[in-house]
Amino acid sequence: MHMKLLLPICIPGVLPADGKLCLSSRLHGCGRAGIDEVETDVVEIEAKLDKLVKLCSGMIEAGRAYVSANKLFVNGIKDLSLQCKKEEMISECLEKCGESLQEIVNYHTGPVNVCV
């Protein structure tokens, strides 16, 4: 995936109104070598961004699998608790354990707050 690089027109040695050096000021006087250098930088940044997107997708899928496994585990504990109703102490411990784990699952699946 290659992006076209649109360069603003800059006068060498003169700063634009925002006070930032523009990319094209790097290219003045450099000719093709300067353009090749900038293209290489853009290609490297694209590759790193693609890699980061793939890693992020992997983390999201791993998180979904983790949450799914936790839900199944909590349901297994609840089923075992129901099966052990005759043993009140064991059943009560399993219920409390299941409730605590359910809170953890709810925490992990709740809305995400992002601080900016």
For residue 29, is it left (φ>0), alpha (ψ between -120 and 50) or beta? left
**Is 11 part of a structural domain of the chain?**
no
**Is 71 part of a structural domain of the chain?**
yes
**Is 15 part of a structural domain of the chain?**
no
The predicted pLDDT at position 37 comes to 87
Number of domains in the chain: 1
**Is 56 part of a structural domain of the chain?**
yes
pTM for the complete prediction?
0.55
User: What are the 10-residue block averages of pLDDT along the chain, 116 residues in total?
Assistant: 51 52 52 83 94 96 91 93 92 94 86 62
